[in-house]
Structure 1
């Protein structure tokens, strides 16, 4: 335990010692005065404890009040969520479908912004936007206002590459470009390190129109200890969208999303509306760490002091019919 104002601690100790010495001298003077008058001191039922307990409780309370002025502090372990979360948003044309209100992308943006704002500064959140390619629009950071701004800037365009989304998310996590090894040339997978506190949240309707193999990219993430939570945004029945004057049908592809999540020991979640999307974020398994935090104990000292004053006063009234 430490004190913000240690000089006041010395004052509190001096006051405490002075009060107890004064109480002791007062009791001796009272006993001597009674003896000089030929009287015996009153012996309340319960003996010495009953006679001295109430005033000692009140004196102890006064010492704690003086101690509180010194602002006591202690370092205590505090559990907090921590880690890195990459929100990978599908921004392909199909995410403009209105089978989820207001659109698939709009619902994903709204609930993601709420999730980011609710995170402590021990959680770094990054944003990846992917269509046929992928672009990191916000590196993992505890600057959550910037992350929310990056989410709100997203707009729909182009096709979809789930594999490219996973590779770009891994690049943001490890801090270097990540690509799949050339299997035909016998190239070994890259050493990305181990990132067990990192999670990729893939928000998409699951329609993969090309690019690197999504399952191979997911297996690469698994070797780095990264979990992928896939979120299927849309409905199985689907909707019709208009792209460059042509109408196209688009529906949720759950099978591929479930396989990608399973490859990394993650989970697939269906989000057919904004409410179920919010539930997905609540279920994210963020790592819990213990962090030492300096906590002020002034409130506790004052609270205990008031409790002792109350008990001492009640005992004085009950046993002696007075407070002093």
Structure 2
């Protein structure tokens, strides 16, 4: 348990100690006054002692709770949550700057992804991975969809393309541990089953890496139960882009993207098919998870204190005909 204002605990302790000490002093003076008139004494019944002290004990017990509540105590508990994960993977290679899709392939991918994120319920965590020659996670999966949208809006085109690295980075994000292709002759890594997660790749399909590695990465995803949905951005007719002073021709390679999706039981779509794109993630099997959330105890503590105050006041009225 943590508290926001620890000083209030010290105040609660000091005030309660002072109140208890004052009550003890008052009771001793009362006993001495009664003894001076030949009343009271050690022969009083236990029932009478309970009636005399219990109401005040309840009031004194409420005092540290009221003051302690001002310290804003909090506990962290595991809150159950039904959730899934979608990792959006963006090709940011130089070819994504082509304008055969207005205003550019990358901008079209960003627009399609933005619509996809906005369609997702808060039970789906969104992560963002970008890839060129290498791949990296720019936004870990989160139910804060505004953070995912901000990561999408920051994308710029540069570098080459490696679909294999893109898939491996997405699997790393999903599983929470580094995922790499096995070395020659080695057994593929066992990633477990992640049917509650999916990958959506936005790319023009031009892969400057090894196609066999992309296929092997897709096989790892399929073995882990992760479907890859691919979104083709561009046109088969293509366009030219300027890279370091050179004009390079680039066109949409649907065959590569279809093959990547088919290997995992996913689907191939185009960036303009926003309805089907949003629906493509609904095949994810949501699972019951938990996450730590701080829960403030001020309300329950104050409620208990008020209950003790009310009980003490009622007993005083019933037994003594007054509250103090």
User: TM-score interval w.r.t. the shorter chain?
Assistant: 0.5 to 0.7
Work out whether residues 132 and 158 of structure 1, in 8 Å CA contact, stay in contact via their aligned partners in 2. yes
Asked whether the equivalents of residues 88 and 129 of structure 2 are also in contact (C-alpha less than 8 Å), the reply is yes
The count of aligned residue pairs is 207
Helix, strand or coil for the counterpart of 1:249?
A: strand
Quote the offset at 1:229 in angstroms: 0.6
Change (3 A) 1:277 1:233: farther
- For 2:265, the equivalent position in structure 1 comes to 265
Structure 2 partner of 1:207: 206
User: Structure 1 residues 233, 188: closer, same or farther in 2, change over 3 A?
Assistant: same
Query: What corresponds to 1:140 in structure 2?
Result: 141
- Tell me the distance in 2 between the aligned counterparts of 1:102 and 1:220: 35
Verify: 1:285 aligned to 2:282, yes or no.
Answer: yes
Kept in 2, the 8 Å contact 1:131–1:159? The answer is yes
Q: CA deviation at 1:143?
A: 1.0
Q: 1:289 Cα deviation (Å)? A: 5.1
State the alpha-carbon separation in 2 of the partners of residues 109 and 278 from structure 1.
Answer: 15
Whether contact under 8 Å (1:92, 1:156) holds in the other structure is yes
Aligned to 2:237: 237
Question: 2: CA distance between counterparts of 1:268 and 1:213?
Answer: 19
The correspondence of residues 25-40 of structure 1 with structure 2, limited to 5 A, is none
CA contact (8 A) 1:160 1:208 kept: yes
- The residue number in structure 1 matching 2:190 is 191
Partner of 1:56: none
Gaps of 5+ in 1: 1-79, 292-324
Alignment of 1:165-180 (within 5 A): 165-180=166-181
CA distance in structure 2 between the aligned counterparts of 1:187 and 1:143, rounded to whole angstroms: 39
Shift in Å, 1:246: 0.5
Q: CA deviation at 1:278?
A: 5.1
Alpha-carbon distance between aligned partners in 2 of 1:205 and 1:290, rounded to the nearest angstrom = 32
1:107-118 alignment runs, 5 A limit: 107-118=108-119
Structure 2 portions without partners, runs of 5+:
1-80, 289-324
Residue 3 of structure 1 corresponds to which residue in structure 2?
Answer: none
- For 1:36-51, what aligned pairs fall within 5 Å after superposition? none
Instruction: Tell me the secondary structure at the aligned position of residue 281 of structure 2.
Output: coil
Contact 1:231 1:268 in 2 (8 A): yes
Q: In structure 1, how many angstroms separate the alpha carbons of the residues matched to 2:215 and 2:274?
A: 24
Whole-Å separation in 1 of the counterparts to 2:180 and 2:253:
25
* Cα displacement (A) at 1:118: 2.8
How far apart, CA to CA, are the structure 2 residues paired with 1:153 and 1:89? 12
Q: C-alpha distance in 2, partners of 1:289/1:192? A: 18
> RMSD of the TM alignment (CA)?
1.9
Which runs of structure 2 are paired with 1:1-324 in the superposition (5 Å)?
82-182=83-183, 184=184, 186-210=185-209, 213-271=213-271, 275-277=272-274, 279-287=276-284
Deviation at 1:82, TM superposition (A): 4.1
Shift of 1:257: 1.1
Q: Structure 1 residues 114, 270: closer, same or farther in 2, change over 3 A?
A: closer
Deviations 1:7-58 (A, max 9, x none): xxxxxxxxxxxxxxxxxxxxxxxxxxxxxxxxxxxxxxxxxxxxxxxxxxxx
Q: Distance in 2 between matches of 1:116 and 1:230?
A: 15
Q: Mark the CA change 1:155 to 1:90 in structure 2 (over 3 Å): closer, same or farther.
A: same
Distance of 1:99 and 1:81 partners within structure 2? 41
Question: What displacement does 1:111 show?
Answer: 2.2
Does structure 2 retain, via aligned residues, the 8 Å contact 1:111–1:278? no
Q: In the TM superposition, what whole-angstrom CA distance separates every residue of 1:198-244 from its partner, at most 9, and x where no partner exists?
A: 11001100000015710000001111000001111110010111111
Structure 2: how far apart are the matches of 1:206 and 1:116? 22
The answer to whether the 8 Å contact 1:82/1:286 transfers is: no
Residue aligned with 1:95, SS = helix
Conservation of the 8 A alpha-carbon contact between 1:83 and 1:287: yes
